[in-house]
Chain A
Amino acid sequence: MLFGFGCSQENQTKGVTVWHWMTDRQESFLKLAQQYQEQTGIEVRFELYAPSELYSRKTIAAAQASVLPDIYGILGEKKRLASFIEGGFVANLSPDFEANEGIWEKNLFVKAINVNRFEEGNVYGIKPGIYGVPLDVTNIQMLYNKNILKKAGIDQPPLTFDQFIKDAVILRRMGIDGFVSGWGEAWIIECFASNYAFNIMGEEKIMATYRGEVSYTDPDWITVFNIFKILKDKNIFVEGIVTKGNKYAEQDFALERAAFAFNGSWCVNVYDKMNPDLNYGTMLPPRYNLESPMKIWGGAGSSLVVNPTSKNKQAAINFLKWLTAKEQQAFLSKQTKNLPANRHALSFLPKILSQFASSMEDATHPSIWKHNENLLVSEAFAKGIQSIIIGEKTPEEAARDIQAVKVYEMEKDKKRLNR
């Protein structure tokens, strides 16, 4: 009876098993796996587990039971990747990247690789090296609807924050919502705030804040928070922006309910499905501080890691090398409208994606920063901004609340270290 009820993992020693969460790409992955089998005779099994939160739980449970597959992905902050590495669940791929005069490494975008790299002297205590393979590259920018702007008599997307406000006021007078983004999700609020923080105070001061040396009530941070207050006061946001999931924000922009959006390069695929006639372009968030550059978040979109205890470790690594080669990257890019991780696959990009790609220069990413903020403080940060947007708190009050959480969390961390 047990037989009739199912099979177990024992007959999967040949071939390579990949666990992932990318629903949109499963079809493309399956096609590529078939191609690979025809070329090399090695079977590659792509197993999809969605949604991504459930996927993370599964990998954690499988790690504990020591049944992780040959290839899988680790979602979340750098800290989690560090934990997995410490637990011995992730292979150090530096030797393979550096082999043959580092050809594999050179073919891929530096920023994409760096998201998976641990530098010398990192705060997690991980041996320096590259631990993951990027499959694609993304960045998060602002978008503008060309038709709406033209209708409002605005020929050029705004380059400065003041100009942005002026444009949005004109749009508001015409009854058009200025700005939409999925700010029901904490990470994307953080992203927007972080971009302006980089512009206003620079990376060093932000790192100092994360270390606890600068308070969130510092005038520069208040300026950052104040940006949200200004946007709210000028009635620029789409209604209900603070509970909007990113999927719904994408809908709003695709259905031309807002003139500007803040979203990542994956949106190209989404907008195309919902409204193929949408006429839009990309722009950096308009600068507040005109003397400093604006930074956006960008780097590897999705990455995969290799299980060091896998019996097919080398086969897995070879497959990943193949997957990130120019032809496969071009295929994936065309099918899923994502930016490739391989720099030589760029020539196959449609126009709007090239716009995204060209801004990679200005990109940074939390995974490459020296320090990262404590998650509960980041949560308080994002929620504090939400409360500014709905008018519940002033920037100063929100800053005080966030700083209080920061102080509390730092004390807890100290206690934990002393145990």
Chain B
Amino acid sequence: MIKNKVISRFSFLEFKGVFENYLFILPAVVIFALFYIYPFYEIFNLSLHEWNGISSVRQFIGIDNFKEIMQDKVWWSSMWNAGYITIIALTFQNMLAFSLALSCDRDIRMRKFYRVIFYLPPILSEVVVGLVWQWILNSGVQGGEPIGLLNYFLTKVHLYHLVHNWLSDPKTVLTCIALVHSWKGFGWGFIILLAGLQTIDRQLYEAAQVDGAGVFSIFKNITIPMMMPVFILVMILTILGSMQVFILVLSMVGQGLVYHTEVPVTRILVSMMGTGRFGYACAQGVVFGLILIIGSFMIKKISAKVKQE
């Protein structure tokens, strides 16, 4: 009987402990359930319907929306455009962020100054960034002189053949948008990578130097492996952020240069507010989300494999 009492008291304590643990995540889960799970369910539900967003009638059509998306050429080309911006971000932006973080990791002069300055672009709203860069890349001419700063500068240094219509040439417009996006975004990567670099124990570096290891070898054998989880985090955040770009595109090229500057979010907005096909827009959103998830998980899988080697 004493054994039973002990057991029941133990289970009660255990239960109490687990219940307390749930309390820790309760506020987060409640808010999340209300503001994310419910709308998510609605959107998923809507993606199986034909609805114009206004009438009380919603027509159930099963997976017809998804079938239509598969054949939507403009949709997939917008995916490709966003993918291009993401690739440039992953390479150019993150390499820039990493090299800057490496530079600021050491005890160089004005380190604090740089740390602050490099984070300024992300603070600016995309509207401002779009406005400023549009003015810089403007290819107009007035009174024989280029209006845009970049072209103006190029003519001043006599590099006339480099003067170009940056934002109205299909060959350059997407790259320009991608570069501006990278310029705006590298501050995020810079901070996270710098924080990561600073958690690496200095003693490891000192020990390696005592052992006679060169700069390159230290970099390869200490820095890179220890930074792997941070790299993954930055890569995933970059992909998520770059694929969803759209405010910057709208403020730099307006409704776009033919179809070359369409991105998935602008297509979803067209379906929602333009053609008024909410069900289709929700289906596009679901497909978009699935692709992002698959991309992120693939990166995690690849990194796990690399870790093992």
Contact = CB atoms under 8 A, between A and B. Distances in A.
Q: Is any CB of A less than 8 Å from a CB of B in the complex?
A: yes
B296 interface: no
Contacts of B275: 374-376
A243 B253 contact: yes
A374 B53 CA distance: 17
Contacts of A336: none
A170 interface: no
A242 B55 contact: no
B254 A243 contact: yes
A374 B277 CA distance: 12
Nearest to B259: A383
Contacts of B169: 390
A238 B142 CA distance: 10
A84 B168 contact: no
B282 to A, nearest CB: 14
A240 B168 contact: yes
A87 B54 contact: yes
Contacts of B254: 182, 184-185, 243-245
B140 interface: yes
Interface stretch (A9-17, A53-61, A125-133, A143-151): A53-61
Contact of A184 (B255, B259, B269): B255
B173 to A, nearest CB: 7
A64 B173 CA distance: 39
B217 interface: no
B53, B139, B143, B254 pick with most chain A CB within 10 angstroms:
B254
Nearest to B272: A57
Interface string B249-291: 0000111111100000000011001111000000000000000
Interface in A372-419: 374-376, 379, 383-384, 386-387, 390, 392, 412, 416, 419
Bin chain B's interface residue count: 35 or more
A177 B252 CA distance: 22
A182 B254 CA distance: 10
B168 A56 contact: no
B51 to A, nearest CB: 10
Contacts of A392: 170, 258
Interface string A67-103: 0000000001001100110110100000000000000
A239 interface: yes
B257 A53 contact: no
B13 interface: no
Contacts of B270: 375, 379
B257 A386 contact: yes
A53 B170 contact: no
B165 A239 contact: yes
A240 B54 contact: no
A186 B167 CA distance: 17
Contacts of A76: 273
A375 B276 CA distance: 10
B59 interface: yes
B138 to A, nearest CB: 7
A30 interface: no
A36 to B, nearest CB: 30
Given A185-B255, A240-B139, A379-B270, A83 B54 contact: yes
